[in-house]
Amino acid sequence: MSEQRVVAVGTPPTFRQQVARALDRAPEDVEWMPTVSAAEAVIGDTSKDPSVLVLSPAIKEPDAFGLAEYIGRTSPATAVLMVRERSMNGLLSDAMRAGIRDVIDLSQGADELREALDRAIVWSLNLRGVRDEGADEKANRKGNVVSVFSSKGGAGKSFLACNLAAAIASEFKKDTALLDLELGVGDVFAHFGKESTRPLQDLLAIGDRAERDAVLEVGTLLTGHLWGFATPGGDPAGQNVPGEAIGKVIRSLSRAFDHVVIDATAQYSDPALAAFDLSDAICLIASLDIVSLRHLSLAMETLLSLGFPRGRFRVVLNRADSKVGLSAEEVQRVLKVKADALIPSSRSVPAALNRGRPVVLESPKTEVAAAVFALARTFAVGSEANGGRRKLFGKR
Ligand SMILES: Nc1ncnc2c1ncn2[C@@H]1O[C@H](COP(=O)(O)OP(=O)(O)O)[C@@H](O)[C@H]1O
Ligand SMILES: [Mg+2]
């Protein structure tokens, strides 16, 4: 494991020895940076990002949380650990929310540091290395899984996930599951004029159910052939759900349904990364403004560096006719990507939302609906072709 980069951050310089000892390494096999800013400066060369950043007790909480949030955005497979001289009590949940993977209380002895470092290295290795297992896994199931992602809020992620799912269910009459990963804060059900009433435990329990009926029972029928899976608004328990638990849920859904559409989180959360692992396609959506496009370009780079194959990405440009000075053609040329879908801006979208029906059902003859139907068709038809190929060649 010695190739796994571990960086100790914060004074005193002997903190490096302390970390090295816990890892049974020579001190020179652990890097050391004096400050949070120095650590932030080494992140960015995604192929070499460290597996673990471990922060000394000298790093103050606000700096630690700020660094963890930054790392979560720019290097999601790097684990951030905090070492404290005593228990954090009240601040623990803030730390977790900021994306810190573990807080080590040195007053509990040195073993805790060793165990936390080992766990963090394994976690990071898994995140970087599970991609191939994902491919085998896909051969064993029936449903086609599509995730929708944008690291920037407001790009149209929920709009696309809901309309894509409704389009697949209505046009192809395929049983479809729509999963809202913004646990406790999602708005997928609102697109259908409904609210989820099933608590988080019910959703996670799907992961252990093999029976299709038991899975359907936890879902809410949103419209013909379409079942929604989400937790009720305001349930804070959703913030710390492990990726592994969501992975199980998605596997169950993909056995019970022909299609699974996932509205992912705007962060590179563990649940979102688990969803991407199990997805046949990841739709990266952006609108035609510089900030949104920068997020799109960075997201592609980040996901590639995590080992997701380029062929899994679908680029969706939303509001692609907006008169904001950037044309879809220019964007495709500059970003060197070909968009898989161009979705126009339309007043029918908010109007449909206000009536609690996706625009593809409420106004199916509009251009915006046509663009979504066209994308939906590539998944519905493509998955049948895939199924055939799987049968011919066995496991990919
Ligand atoms: N093509 C579009 N035309 C008009 N309004 C849109 C379009 N796409 C998204 N919107 C609106 O933009 C807002 C943000 O979209 P939403 O899907 O909630 O974003 P996200 O889930 O990425 O945060 C919503 O009010 C939505 O109705
Ligand atoms: Mg949303």
How close is the Cα of 76 to the center of ligand 2, in Å? 20
pLDDT of residue 209: 79
pLDDT per 10-residue tile (average), the chain, 396 residues:
80 93 92 89 74 95 93 89 86 86 88 92 80 50 90 96 98 95 93 94 88 92 96 79 90 94 93 93 94 92 88 94 79 88 96 97 97 95 51 32
Which one of the ligands is nearest to 155 CA? 1
Residue ranges of domains in the chain, CATH in brackets = 6-129 (3.40.50.2300), 133-393 (3.40.50.300)
pLDDT of residue 43: 79
> Of the candidates 32, 39, 31, which has an alpha carbon nearest to the alpha carbon of residue 64?
39
How close is the Cα of 265 to the center of ligand 2, in Å? 8
Residue 175's φ and ψ, nearest 5 degrees, are -65, 125
* CA distance linking residue 47 with residue 137, whole number of Å: 26
pLDDT of residue 392: 33
- pTM exceeding 0.85: no
Q: Is 241 helix (H, G, I), strand (E, B) or coil?
A: coil
Query: Which atom in ligand 1 lies closest to the alpha carbon of residue 368?
Result: 1
Which one of the ligands is nearest to 187 CA? 2
pLDDT of residue 113: 93
Q: Which residues of 48-58 are buried (b: 16+ CB within 10 A; e: fewer)?
A: ebbbbbbbbbe
Q: For ligand 1, atom 1, which residue shows the shortest CA distance?
A: 345
pLDDT of residue 132: 47
- Other CB atoms within 10 A of residue 237 CB: 13
How close is the Cα of 160 to the center of ligand 2, in Å? 9
Q: For ligand 1, atom 17, which residue shows the shortest CA distance?
A: 156
CA 4-271-8 angle, to 5 degrees, is 30
Q: For ligand 1, atom 8, which residue shows the shortest CA distance?
A: 156
Ligand 1 binding pocket (C-beta < 6 A) is: 150, 153-159, 318-319, 343, 345-346, 349-350, 353, 368
